[in-house]
Amino acid sequence: MWLPNLFNVFLWLFALDAGLTATLDAYQALAGTQSTLFASLHATVATITAIVALIVLLAVCSYKKTPWRLVLLPLIFVFWGSLVFIPLPAFVSLEKIFRFAGLAQLMVVGGCFWTMRTRFPNRPWQIPSQVFAGSTFSIARVFWSTLIKIFIVAPSLIVGICISLVWTLEKVSNGFISIRSDGLYTEKRIYDYDGREIHLLPTVHIASPDFYANLIRELPKSETVILPEGVTDRKNLIRDGLDYSGPAESAGLSTQPSFVEMSKLAFRPCDVDVSEFSESTLRDLNSISKCLKRWTAGDHAACLEELSQMRSPDLNLMKEDLLNKRNTRVNEALKGALLEFKHIGIPWGAAHMPGIEDDILKMGAKRRSGERVCVFRWADLTLNF
């Protein structure tokens, strides 16, 4: 009978995929790099597992008697893995989550086979065909089960993912980014430091045109300095630059302008040069640069091809280069600016803000006020390809 074989093949493939994922995680942790051979094998097995999982999903409830409880969690893991991982970044760093993804999958495998061992002690490594005895196919059952999957199960999972994503994003960003029913927002905050004001102005690379003006609207015009974000590339290491105009135009939005030119205020450069980044980060930035160039040129197929060829980033190195090094530099510039100016504006990416805020609170600054600024409204987004 093909039905028990289908369920067993899915569980064995899921177990193999879990083993390969854990092996890749361990290899990268020990060697500091990925194994191309294992990565290719893992991608193949993961693809086959997803295809078989789709067939199992269609079979579940289409027959009167299927052991759906044994395959439910693996199916969720394959199709809606974000339900397993999305809440975790609020408590655990992303690099640790990805490092232990294989272990989490192995735990799911272990739970499945432990259940099989309990239910089928004589044949603990497979679901016996007797379980499917009398399991007849029914058109009516297929119809109703499909309706339930499409209109109840899928929407419930999507709502769960969205709620988890919103909550996690706000938690990770320390409230500097928030998703509301009408759009995406950042929160600008003012801190008092011995009578001087520090303005944290969380920005994004792509937004509605009025967002950038609203972000710096309340900066005083006198005794004010801006510490602008913007890495330099004196050695031309990012060959194609980082031009976000293509994705911005596709969404009907604008790219981030120069806050120095917009405000006409004094400024102090404080960002790093890309030559200070690791080779791994430079490789990833060049890959992103190529994707953006293809998108801007209107060659979306080539952009997707570039994305598919990107190697998994080293999250630890990327965090150190793109966040920690740059946050340290802006913190040093802030200490110098506090000696000269009464108002300091820091319009940096929202991802930097939790770290920058932590630094200024350690200096003794006190948070005084906050105001949400709309990045863009959902109704304003367009899809222009």
Looking at residue 84, what is its pLDDT? 59
Q: What digits encode the pLDDT tens for the residues 170-209?
A: 888 899 999 998 999 999 999 999 999 999 999 999 999 8
Residue type, 39: A
Instruction: Indicate whether 154 and 31 sit together in one domain.
Output: yes
| Residue 292: CB atoms within 10 Å | 20
Looking at residue 123, what is its pLDDT? 79
Assigned domain for 245 exists: yes
Specify the number of domains making up the chain: 2
Instruction: Indicate whether 149 and 182 sit together in one domain.
Output: no
- In 3D, which of 134, 346, 107 has the Cα closest to residue 227? 346
Instruction: Indicate whether 107 and 79 sit together in one domain.
Output: yes
pLDDT band at residue 154 under the 50/70/90 scheme: confident
> Which among 141, 172, 203 is the end of a domain?
172
Instruction: Indicate whether 225 and 199 sit together in one domain.
Output: yes
Domain residues for the domain of 227 are 177-380
Q: Inform me whether the pLDDT recorded for 138 exceeds 90.
A: no
| Residue 257: CB atoms within 10 Å | 11
Assigned domain for 385 exists: no
Assigned domain for 227 exists: yes
Instruction: Indicate whether 12 and 114 sit together in one domain.
Output: yes
Q: What is the mean pLDDT of the chain?
A: 87
d(CA 304, CA 238): 20
Its pTM stands at: 0.77
Q: What digits encode the pLDDT tens for the residues 360-370?
A: 999 999 999 99
Q: What digits encode the pLDDT tens for the residues 240-272?
A: 888 888 889 889 999 999 999 999 999 999 999
Assigned domain for 84 exists: yes
Instruction: Indicate whether 58 and 128 sit together in one domain.
Output: yes
pLDDT band at residue 96 under the 50/70/90 scheme: low
Q: Where are the beta strands (DSSP E) in 18-168?
A: none
Q: Inform me whether the pLDDT recorded for 78 exceeds 90.
A: no
d(CA 321, CA 55): 43
Strands 343-346 and 196-200: parallel
